[in-house]
Amino acid sequence: MRRLLIAGNWKMNMKLDSAKALAQGLKEKAAGVSEVDIAICPPSLYVQPVGAIVNGSNVGLGAQNAYFAKAGAFTGELEMAMLTDVGCQYVILGHSERRHILGESSEFINLKVRAALKAGLIPIVCVGELEAERDNGVTNDVNRRQFDGSFSGVSAEEMKKCVIAYEPVWAIGTGKVATPDQAEEVHAFLRGLIVEKYGKEVADVVRIQYGGSVKAGNAKELLSKPDIDGALVGGASLKVDDFMGIIEAVRAL
C-alpha cells in the first residue's frame, strides 16, 4: 500500500521569523506521526533556516522550484545540487502557477524533472486543467499532454521515485474543491497513463497527490479514495493547526 504524502507548499508567503516559527511548531506537533510522510516547501530564501529546524525530524524538506542546468551563468536560478546541499529531499516542479503565470511548458518542466532525479531529489510534478478546459470536456487530453511532456525520457525506475500532484487549476486558492469522485476519476486516469507507459508494477508504486483547497474538513473524504495518495496543500499549510488538522484527519487511512 502506498504511504500518503502530505506536503505543504508555502508559496511566496511569510517573513523569516514566521517561517521558522511554523517549522518549529510543525516539528513539535508532528513528532509522533508515523503513519504518513510529511514535507514542507518554504520559499527558496528560507529553505536553509527552515531545514536546520526540521533536520532529523519526521518533517521532510522541499523546494518550490529549481533550474535544470548545472552551475553556471544563470542569474537568479538554483541548481538542483544546491537543494540537496542544504538538505532538500523534494522539489515541486510544474506547479500551475509556473505553467500559467510564468509560461513554463511541459518540455521545459521535463528538463527539470530529469535534472532533479539525477540529483537524487524526489520531484513532485504538478498537472491539471483550467476551468475552461474542464468545461470543454478536455480534462483528460490536457492531463495526458502534461504527463507525456513532463515525464518524457524518464525510465521506469526513475518514475517509481516521482510523485504526481493533480491540481485542478480552478480549485487552487479559490475555495472550490473537486468532489472526491471528480478527483478520483482524474487520479485513476493518471494511474492508467502510468500503466500504459511503464506497466502496472510501476503504477502501483507512484504516489498521486491531490492539490486544490485541501483542508482538515475535506481531507479524509478526498484521501480515502483508492488512487489519491496524499495532498499538496497551499493555504492550509501556513498555520500549524490547519496543516496538522489535515494530517490528523488521514492518519488512520
Contact 173, 128 (CB under 8 A): no
In the residue annotation, 95 being an active-site residue is answered as: yes
CA-CA distance, 219 to 221, in Å (whole number)?
Answer: 6
11 contacts: CB under 8 Å, gap ≥ 6: 43, 64, 97, 234
Please report, for residues 60, 154, 215, 217, the alpha-carbon distance to residue 121 in angstroms, rounded to integers and kept in the order given.
12, 14, 27, 31
User: Which residues on neighbouring strands pair with residue 63, listed in sequence order?
Assistant: 91
Residue the block writes with cell 541548481:
79
The SS3 of residue 75 is coil
In whole angstroms, give the CA distance from residue 17 to residue 195: 45
Of 79, 95, 97, 158, catalytic: 95
Could you report how far apart the first and last alpha carbons of the chain are, in Å? 11
Annotation says 187 is catalytic: no
Catalytic residue among 129, 133, 167, 184: 167
d(CA 239, CA 237): 6
Segments in the chain forming alpha helices (H): 16-29, 47-54, 80-85, 96-100, 106-118, 131-135, 139-150, 156-159, 180-198, 200-203, 216-223, 240-250
- Give me the torsion for CA of 16, 18, 23, 24, rounded to 10°: 110
Q: Which residues are catalytic?
A: 95, 167
